[in-house]
Amino acid sequence: MIRQPLHAAIGNPYRALCLAMLALVTMVAISVPSARAQDAVDPAERQRIEGIVHDYLMANPEVILEAIRSLEERQQAAKEQQRDSIIDQVVPTLTASPLTPTFGADDSDVVMVEFFDYQCGYCKRLHPGVQKLMKEDQKLKVIFAELPILGPASLVASRAALASQEQGKYLEFHDAMMGHQGQLSDEVIFDIADEVGLDVAQLKDDMNAPKVMQYLAMIRSISESLDIRGTPAMVIGKNFVGGYVPYEKLQEIVEQVRAEG
C-alpha cells in the first residue's frame, strides 16, 4: 500500500526557517515608525532587524517547529478542499467516456471509483472485498479506473483490459489479472487473455487504438488532480480513500455514504 504522504507546503526545514524569519521580519518592519513605512529599509536597519530575528529564533527554536506544523496543516487543508471540489467532477467525467468500465445498477445510490494497477500487491488484496461488495450490494455502482504506474507491464495490462471491452470480457479479464500472483509480462498478460476466452489477435489490434492511450492519459490527469500518489485509491461518494482497506471497512464506508444521501 502506498498511502498519500503529507504534502508539506515547505520544501524542507531550512525553507521553513526562512519563511518563519520572513514573517518575523515583516512583523518587526510593521513596527517601524509610520514616517518611514513607505521607505525601503536601509541596510543598517535591515541588519538590526535580522539580528533581532536571529536572536529570537535562537532563544525560541520551538517557533520553527510551530511554523512547520502550521504550514503543513494549512497546506493539507487547502489540498483537501481542492480535492473535494474535484471529486464532484470525477464520476461525470468518467461515465461520459464509453471506455470507462462500469458495473452495477443504473439506479445505484452509491458510486465507487477504484484507481488501481495490476502489479500493485495491495490492489490485489483489496480486490476480493470489491468483488464481494459488488455481488452483495445491489445498489452499488463500481467504476474501475486503470492507473498503470508501476512500469511498462502495467501499461500493457491496462491497455489490454480496456481493449477487452470490445469483446465484452472486461470483468473476466480484470478478475483473472487481479488473481494472478507473480510478475507480469506481455506473455503472461496475453496468456491470461487467452485463458478467459479473448481473441488475442483482436485484443492486440484493439489495444493499439489511439483512443486507448488518450483515455489512460485522462485517467492519469484525474489522478494527479486528486493528488493520488499510489494505488489503490478510491472515491466513494464524496469521500477519498487512499490505500488498502479490509472488506468490513469498505462496506462501512459505503453504508455511511448511503446514509448521508
pLDDT band at 60 (very low <50, low <70, confident <90, very high): confident
CA–CA gap between residue 173 and residue 57 (Å, rounded):
60
* Cα four-point dihedral sign 10, 14, 15, 20: positive
Residue with cell 464506508: 253
Is the link from the previous residue into 152 a cis peptide, with omega within 30 of 0? no
Per-residue model confidence as pLDDT tens digits over 216-253: 999 999 999 998 999 999 999 999 999 999 999 999 99
Closest CA to 225 of 88, 86, 103, 100: 86
* % of the chain exceeding 70 in pLDDT: 81
Pairing between β-strand 233-236 and β-strand 239-242 as defined by DSSP bridges:
antiparallel
Domain 97-260: CATH superfamily is Glutaredoxin (3.40.30.10)
Top-confidence residue, 227 or 33 = 227
What pTM was computed for the model? 0.71
pLDDT band at 1 (very low <50, low <70, confident <90, very high): very low
Top-confidence residue, 53 or 119 = 119
Grid cell locating 154: 502495467
pLDDT band at 2 (very low <50, low <70, confident <90, very high): very low
Grid cell locating 137: 450490494
Indicate if the pLDDT at residue 160 is higher than 80: yes
What's the confidence (pLDDT) of residue 91? 92
Grid cell locating 256: 455511511
Which amino acid, 258? R
Residue with cell 512547520: 68
pLDDT band at 20 (very low <50, low <70, confident <90, very high): low
What's the confidence (pLDDT) of residue 182? 92
Top-confidence residue, 146 or 44 = 146
CA–CA gap between residue 84 and residue 72 (Å, rounded):
18
What's the confidence (pLDDT) of residue 10? 36
Top-confidence residue, 87 or 24 = 87
What's the confidence (pLDDT) of residue 78? 66
Q: What's the whole-number mean pLDDT along residues 121-146?
A: 97
Work out the angle at residue 130's Cα, subtended by the Cα atoms of residues 4 and 97, and round it to the nearest 5 degrees.
80
CA–CA gap between residue 135 and residue 127 (Å, rounded):
12
What's the confidence (pLDDT) of residue 32? 47
Indicate if the pLDDT at residue 103 is higher than 70: yes
Top-confidence residue, 21 or 82 = 82
**Where exactly are the structural domains of the chain?**
13-79, 97-260
Strands (E), the chain: 102-104, 110-116, 140-146, 233-236, 239-242
